Chain A
Amino acid sequence: GQQLNQSPQSMFIQEGEDVSMNCTSSSIFNTWLWYKQDPGEGPVLLIALYKAGELTSNGRLTAQFGITRKDSFLNISASIPSDVGIYFCAGQQGFGNEKLTFGTGTRLTIIP
């Protein structure tokens, strides 16, 4: 099935650095979401975006819904050890179709 392309695939950063990742699609989505998954656990919802151009924050996390509706971005400021994990974007086309299409994931590692 279709997957969203996430970039980068992996990141190695030092504690305190800012992080940026993005998600792109060839199709338009009407809702974009960002999830984080820790080892051995299910994905946890971080941010949901419903409007093109929307910028939403959740603590140190900020996500944006791209104007073209074909992309989304996630930024993490001042990273801390608990930010380690895999970040997934997900898109929903809506209008009666409640299925989420998930991205390929960005693995974040913090170097001590």
Chain B
Amino acid sequence: DAGVIQSPRHEVTEMGQEVTLRCKPISGHDYLFWYRQTMMRGLELLIYFNNNVPIDDSGMPEDRFSAKMPNASFSTLKIQPSEPRDSAVYFCASSQTVSPSEQYFGPGTRLTVT
């Protein structure tokens, strides 16, 4: 079975540019989570969805970050405008209603903003 798919795997962009990260959850999973990982702050939850509806976005750093889930098989995390401090690895994870805590992570997108 295919796991969580993320694209791109690496993204290098200049400060001020718009960045869009993409995620395809595991088929049949109805929870989707976006995380950010840095050396300083570890793994932080940014936002999560249940049945395509955003449930908790309290971890989104600021208005420059936005996330959408237009259907059960696709989600995006957008940063506009990007800043150097946004450089991190961004992970998407998904899980099922029967065991929402058992989250399965994608390979991540390493974002570098110069």
Contacts and interface: CB of A to CB of B under 8 A. Distances in A.
A98 B55 contact: yes
Contacts of A104: 42
Interface of B: 4, 31, 33, 41-45, 48, 50, 55-56, 59, 91, 93, 95, 99-108
Contacts of A33: 101-102
A102 B91 CA distance: 13
Interface residues of A, number: 23
Nearest to B105: A42
A102 B42 contact: yes
Contacts of B100: 92, 98
Interface of A: 1, 3, 31, 33, 35, 40-45, 48, 88, 90, 92, 94, 98-100, 102-105
A92 B101 contact: yes
Nearest to A105: B42
A41 B107 contact: yes
A110 B4 CA distance: 29
B48 A99 contact: yes
A100 B4 CA distance: 18
